[in-house]
A and B are shown apart, each in its own frame.
Chain A
Amino acid sequence: MTGFSIFVLLVLVLAVLLVVMGVKAVPQGREYTVERFGRYTRTLTPGLNLIVPLVDRIGAKLSMMETVLDVPQQDVITRDNALVTVDGVVFFQVLDAARAAYEVSHLENAILNLTMTNVRTVMGSMDLDELLSQRDKINAQLLTVVDEATTSWGVKVTRIEIKDISPPRDLVDSMGRQMKAERDKRAAILEAEGLRQAAILKAEGEKQATILAAEGRREAAFRDAEAREREAEAEARATAVVSQAIGAGSVQAVNYFVAQRYVAALEKVASAPNQKVLMMPLEAASVIGSIAGIGELAREAFATRPAPTLPPTLPPGIPPA
């Protein structure tokens, strides 16, 4: 083989190597840094890129996509001395490939450690109750601190989330008991309040009923008194009328009425169906006396008139003496 042939073959190898080493196709979502003799010169963006294979070299290949890192579980002691186990996630994105490649070594490890120490700082300054109820605040505070620190690395920390906060088992039990006691207390108070309310309502009802009853009695008494008054008035008037009549006529007229009543009462007593034996003070003499009074009355009446032609007859309804 001639020297020229050897040279040609070497040129072929060199050309193939130049093409293979010099052509860099960067996929979307990544960026490569280029070092010329070890010094950073530029960043290759997605697409077809050429570098000079003899002097340029690819330094770091960085993902420009948002990346999530798991923050491993760690123990944190809160301000009130509770030991809680915490884990979380960090989302970050490289915005400046050169800084992320050369300003920090082991970028992910650095972010992770920064986050872990800050988790301890932030959560260690809070009480357990605060810790459990204020995750948003913790996340925001962590984000501010970590993002500030990573800015010089060309990295943007977009989110830090505390995933899980788990207090020790016995503390959780106590918290459960505390909550139960709180509910029990509320239930007991409500129950007592109900009973009190019920008693008050009942007493009030009774009071109202008593008042109403008394009022009824009062009203009835008033009416009774009025009735008695009226009765007395009527009686007085009746007595006055009777005494007037008596004054104008004869005493025998009174006897007429008495006899009438007397006889009517006798009739009633005698016709009572369930009375077989009748015990009553019946003064036959007085009845007869009354009837005699009527006879007197009649005689008087007739005496003042011209003598009748017919024998005197008793009025109907009056039994013969």
Chain B
Amino acid sequence: MSGIEFWHWLSLGAILAVVEMVAPGVYFLWLGIAALLVGGVAWLWPDLHWQYQVLLFALFAIADVTLSRRWMRARPAVTDQPHLNRRGEQYVGRLLTLDQPIVDGVGRAHVEDTMWRVSGPDLPAGQRIRVVGVDGATLRVEAA
């Protein structure tokens, strides 16, 4: 066991990166990064005991996941379609006509080829409304 040197860690890192590419699950990526980091440390301190190397690997594995998450939160991935799979949010800002009056805060309006429940201040049927938000399957609206 004590014969572990930095080449082994670097090899492990490469292997884990390859495994991640072949079988994506986003688990092996972090382990691979940790292995490469331990490989770097072992290259700097070749006398480091193998137990400490393994402990460092465990520490790096957990640390790189949490740090990367924090880093990604700060820089969210840019997407062309921010409202993908969020049907209601695609309609925010849209002008509609009320089909049924809003009574006690709930009415119905036609959007594209289907009906949506809308909630907002009481308004008569035929009123022009604007979608300002969405709660699940209900659009929040106000008079336009």
Q: Tell me the complex Cα distance, A22–B138, Å.
A: 33
Contact with A along B18-44 (1 / 0, CB 8 A): 000000111100110000000000000
Q: Tell me the complex Cα distance, A50–B31, Å.
A: 15
Q: Tell me whether A237 is interfacial, beta carbon within 8 Å.
A: no
Contact A12 B115 (CB under 8 A): no
Q: Quick one: given A19-B31, A156-B116, A158-B114, are A95 and B136 in contact (CB under 8 Å)?
A: yes
Contact A25 B26 (CB under 8 A): yes
Contact A16 B31 (CB under 8 A): yes
Which one of B30, B113, B117, B137 contacts A19 once the chains associate, using CB atoms below 8 Å?
B30
**Beta-carbon contacts under 8 Å, A32-60 to B:** 46-48, 50
A-B contact count (CB 8 A): 93
Contact B137 A95 (CB under 8 A): yes
Nearest A residue (CB) for B84:
A28
**Beta-carbon contacts under 8 Å, A1-44 to B:** 4-5, 8-9, 11-12, 14-16, 18-20, 22-23, 25, 28-29
Q: Quick one: given A11-B58, A28-B84, are A159 and B113 in contact (CB under 8 Å)?
A: yes
Which one of B61, B66, B85, B137 contacts A96 once the chains associate, using CB atoms below 8 Å?
B137
Contact with A along B39-67 (1 / 0, CB 8 A): 00000000000010011011101100110
Contact A23 B27 (CB under 8 A): yes
Residues of B within 8 A of A (CB): 1, 24-27, 30-31, 51, 54-55, 57-59, 61-62, 65-66, 68-69, 72, 77, 84-88, 108, 113-117, 134-138
Task: Add 19 more A-B contacts to A16-B31, A93-B87, A151-B137 (CB < 8 A).
Answer: A8-B54, A15-B58, A15-B59, A16-B58, A19-B27, A19-B61, A23-B26, A23-B65, A25-B24, A48-B69, A95-B137, A143-B114, A143-B115, A144-B115, A147-B115, A147-B137, A151-B138, A154-B136, A154-B137
